Amino acid sequence: MESHAWIPSLGVSFTLGLDGLSLLFVILTALMGAAAVLASWKSLGRKVALFHAALALVMAGIYGVFLSVDLFLFAFMWELMLIPMYFLVDVWGGPGRHKASVKFFLFSQAGGILMFVAVVALYVLHGRATGVYSFDYRVLLGTAFDPAAGMLLMLGFFAAFAVKLPVFPLHAWLPDTYTEAPIGGSVLLAALLSKTAGYGMIRFLLPLFPDAVRAFAPIAVWLGVAGIVYGGFMAFAQKDLKRLVSYTSVSHLGFVLVGIFTLTAQGLDGAVIQMLSHGLGTGALFVLVGWLEERSGTRDLDRLGGLWSMAPRLGAFGLVLTLGLVGLPGLGNFIGEFLVLSGSFHAYLAATIVAGFGLVVAMVYALRMFQLSFHGSPSGALAVRDLDAPQVLLLGVLVAALVYLGLFPQEVLKLLAALGASLGLTPGVMP
């Protein structure tokens, strides 16, 4: 815990805190940030210094989000991420980058503003009720609202998180942005930015507005389930490999939302593990797809094919990561999805069954993707170099982390154990 006075007259302090939950995400940020830098090592071509400056700024914002204890600081960091991220997509992205970056910006900014209004309103309400004007999370904790106000504030926060995660109807920016972003940009977006939203829900939404969250939970769970199924079906229909991976993110992040809003300790644990493994797995998958595109010049599944024989190392990583998408036991996603579903089983039986169906869809799209790109034969001439040693090392580290998460989830759960209790969540059924 590190605290400095920042704007004392308004009760704003520069307070950073690190607990088990933050620690996990800080480690993920460090790992995936390095991966984003390494993955875009050769592919930039222009304005390299500027790219890394923007990337470092986004990283600073992400670290800030994971560490802030002061809500003003949190909102500050949240805004800090946005503009450099916009430029990462807009300057270094693919052919449709302008439209994608504007879409991303508008969605994120709209959500960010609603959250900022909610932060200020929370500050004012708390100040009026107690006379203590402060943005400190620990002070604001336990503020009592009348139900309508609490619900509005909660929705303000939820809007920002729902855009970034994304939650089903607000995901419209995601496929475009993920697809058009440069390798490093999609790694940041998929692996880290979406996690800031999940983290924000666990850290701020649940403890600050327990009553409103409880009332809203069934809706959120169903939104999550809708995301799982919708993302799965959309992924199945894609021809563009990167777009396909983007839609699998919508699907996998739906589990995160379900897990958090089951309001059980299991669901929460599952959501965190799901976020970590999505960060590692999908992050690595975006690296892989980026490299594949560099080598082959295409992401079109119709034109790809037979990569396994041409580039066995690429193929091997592709296989492992695809199995991760499916939720194979031994990889982190399995633990995450299993915990989420077992958390939601009691309270939301129907939702759990539909979400379980989503796993079947995942099997179908993942295998289709693998088959079309790695097996068979390409439609045209396709020559792909295999991965070189540093690239194998990078993907190897990420996959190793994913396997570790799948085999020893207990280590992660131990770090989280204190958290569920402090949020007042009981294992199993909610009262």
Partner 1 sequence: MDFSAIRLELVAALIALGLLVFGLLTPRGKREVIGYIAAAAFLGLLALSFLAPGGGGSFQGGLYLDDPLSLFFKRLFITAAFLVSLMSLRFAKSLEESRSEFFSLLGFSLVGMMMLASANDFVSLYIGLELMSLPLVILTAYDRTSGKSTEAGTKYILLSAISSAVLLFGLSLLFGATGSFSYSDTLKALGSVADDPLVVIGSIMVVAGFAFKISAVPFHMWSPDIYEGAPAPVAAFLAVGSKAAGFAALIRLLLFALPASSGDFPLLILSLSVLSMVVGNLIALPQTNMKRLLAYSSIAHAGYILLGLVAASTAGVAAMLYYLVLYLFANVGIFAALSAFGEAGGSSEISSLKGMWKRSPFMAASLLVCLLSLAGIPPAAGFIGKFYLLAEVARQGKLWLAALALVMSVVSISYYISVIRVIVMEKAEDESRIRVSLANKAILAVSVLVTLGMGVFPAPITEWTRAIAGSIVR
Instruction: Name the residues that contact partner 1, by CB under 8 A.
Output: 5-10, 47, 50, 72, 76-77, 79-80, 82-83, 86-87, 90-91, 105, 109-110, 113, 116-117, 120-121, 123-124, 127
Residue type, 241: L
Cis peptide before 431 (omega within 30 of 0): no
Distance CA 382, CA 367 (A): 21
Q: Which is nearer to partner 1, 90 or 269 (CB)?
A: 90
Rg of the chain in Å (alpha carbons) = 21
Closest alpha carbon to 173 in 80, 106, 116: 106
* Residue 210 Cβ vs partner 1, minimum distance, rounded to whole Å: 23
- Tokens 């991220």 found at: 85
Compute the half-sphere exposure of residue 318: CA atoms within 13 Å on the CB side of its CA: 29
> Residue 7 forms beta bridges with which residues?
12
Q: Which is nearer to partner 1, 119 or 326 (CB)?
A: 119
* Residue 62 Cβ vs partner 1, minimum distance, rounded to whole Å: 14
Distance CA 154, CA 13 (A): 23
Q: Which is nearer to partner 1, 52 or 313 (CB)?
A: 52
Q: Which is nearer to partner 1, 80 or 354 (CB)?
A: 80
Distance CA 308, CA 318 (A): 9
Q: Which is nearer to partner 1, 5 or 144 (CB)?
A: 5
Distance CA 50, CA 84 (A): 10
* Residue 40 Cβ vs partner 1, minimum distance, rounded to whole Å: 17
Q: Which is nearer to partner 1, 5 or 129 (CB)?
A: 5
* Residue 7 Cβ vs partner 1, minimum distance, rounded to whole Å: 5
* Residue 155 Cβ vs partner 1, minimum distance, rounded to whole Å: 14
* Residue 120 Cβ vs partner 1, minimum distance, rounded to whole Å: 5
Q: Which is nearer to partner 1, 77 or 208 (CB)?
A: 77
Q: Give the CA distances from residue 119 to residues 111, 113, 115, 403, in Å, rounded to whole numbers and listed in that order.
A: 12, 10, 6, 39
Residue 149 contacts residue 122 (beta carbons within 8 Å): no
Q: Give the CA distances from residue 37 to residues 42, 184, 187, 322, 403, in Å, rounded to whole numbers and listed in that order.
A: 10, 6, 9, 23, 23
Q: Residue 205 carries which DSSP code?
A: I
* Residue 10 Cβ vs partner 1, minimum distance, rounded to whole Å: 7
* Number of other residues whose CB lies within 10 A of the CB of residue 238: 21
Q: Which is nearer to partner 1, 97 or 299 (CB)?
A: 97
* Residue 102 Cβ vs partner 1, minimum distance, rounded to whole Å: 8
